[in-house]
Amino acid sequence: MSAKIRQPHSPISGFIFHLHPRKVAAETIRFTLSFGLGGMAATLFLVLAVTGVLQLLSYSSDSTAAYQSIILMYAGSSLAGFIRNVHHWAGNLLVIVALLHLLRVYLTGALGQGRRLNWLIGCTLFLLVLLANFTGYLLPWDQLAFWAVTIFTNMVTYVPLIGDPLGELLRGSNEVGPATLANFFAIHVGLIPPLILILLIYHFWLIRKAGGLVRSRNGEAHAPMVPTVPTLISREAAVGFGLCALLFLFSALVDAPLDDIANPGQSPNPAKAAWYFMGLQELLLHLHPVFAICIVPLLMLLLLAMLPFLRQAALEPGIWCGGSRGRWTAASSFLAGLLGVIIWVIVDEFVFKISGSEHFLTPWLSRGIVPLLSLIFISGLVYRLLRLRKSPPSESVMAVTLLCLGIVCGLTVIGIWFRGPGMALGFFFLKG
């Protein structure tokens, strides 16, 4: 054995063994443990880096020329338009894949000793991905971009104390304009990619240090091992190349959206933020801005970051949702959040607003403190009921977390597909 290990190896395998150990536990390579989500996210990051550099060759970041440079990408026989499509779809897909990856890590209980810091890094990476997507959104300088960024930078100004300076810092002036484009271009191209790269390397290193992917508790000592090459590598290659193939095919068929050139004088109706912020925009219709933009999202982020540090909140490692009962709890609490928030939105829209009782006290109470306290009360109730049902604490915390996730998903879905002109509620996606 030892003679084998000392054998000189090629640069490629040298690189592989930098990322992976020589042998990995057989149970960690099964697809249904990880669904290859982390690998997909890493693949998408690489695709985004390459297509991003290629786009620098055809894109102009000057506000008077940006839109025209996008139009020119699709003119003639160059592949610049295709590259833009790949970059666009990969970026959007990364938001979904990263979220699912985060969810996978939590639900398979990979938050134990040695993985806590990595969870925080993962959460930071997710926020950076959102910021990268959002800053990239402005660059085409079309109507979609201009108004989405106008809406978002105005959302930021509702944050107490630091909101106004922060909004001004992002925009570079009082309103979205050439300075904003320069800011966003610098952040998108120069600031975020290196930050993500550094954190990504740290992320990978911490996984290796924690002993690879999460394993179930039983049989930890004598777990059967398989060689990394070819068992793990072939699987990773299959996921990575398969994803690339699908992404390129999709990008060849579907162009990334591009609206008319930005016109500060005319908001499209409805004007919507980027889709991953539609949950926030929806929340803004119902809550006082300080609660919708600052307090509620911060509380949810705090819950997310705290998960590995809450006592006994980590799920059974290596098993989805801690077992079959846990899976049932997870699915039902997610659905409860989803349906609950839909009902709340409909009631708020059609009962409170029409009867004029939306401000039954002051806006701060009726559209801030009362809904927030209700949410905390419901979360506490779910936790207590599950504990009374003799569920372990980890399962009860999971129920609350997935309830919140259901709420976020519900708000996002309503915002994207069920809001039409004037942000009226209805089945607008059916009318195309």
Residues found near other proteins in the complex (CB under 8 A):
147, 150-151, 153-155, 168-169, 172-173, 175, 179, 264-272, 281, 284-285, 289, 358, 363, 421-424
* Smallest separation (angstroms) from other proteins to the CB of 168: 8
* Smallest separation (angstroms) from other proteins to the CB of 177: 9
- Would you tell me how many other CB atoms lie within 10 Å of the CB of residue 337? 26
* Smallest separation (angstroms) from other proteins to the CB of 277: 11
Distances (CA, A) of 328 to 42, 129, 333, 387, 392: 31, 31, 9, 15, 14
Q: Say how far apart CA 206 and CA 196 lie, in whole Å.
A: 15
Looking at the Cβ atoms of 259 and 358, the one nearer to other proteins is 358
* DSSP SS3 for 225: strand
For 1, residues 6+ apart whose C-beta sits below 8 A from its C-beta are none
Looking at the Cβ atoms of 32 and 174, the one nearer to other proteins is 174
Looking at the Cβ atoms of 270 and 297, the one nearer to other proteins is 270
Q: What is the CA radius of gyration of the chain?
A: 24
* Smallest separation (angstroms) from other proteins to the CB of 362: 11
For 291, residues 6+ apart whose C-beta sits below 8 A from its C-beta are 367, 368, 369, 371, 372
* Smallest separation (angstroms) from other proteins to the CB of 349: 11
Q: Say how far apart CA 388 and CA 263 lie, in whole Å.
A: 58
* Smallest separation (angstroms) from other proteins to the CB of 53: 24
Looking at the Cβ atoms of 21 and 421, the one nearer to other proteins is 421
Looking at the Cβ atoms of 218 and 269, the one nearer to other proteins is 269
Q: Read off the tokens for 356.
A: 């004029």
Q: Assess contact for 291 and 371: CB atoms under 8 A.
A: yes
Looking at the Cβ atoms of 226 and 369, the one nearer to other proteins is 369
User: What is the 8-class DSSP label of residue 255?
Assistant: P
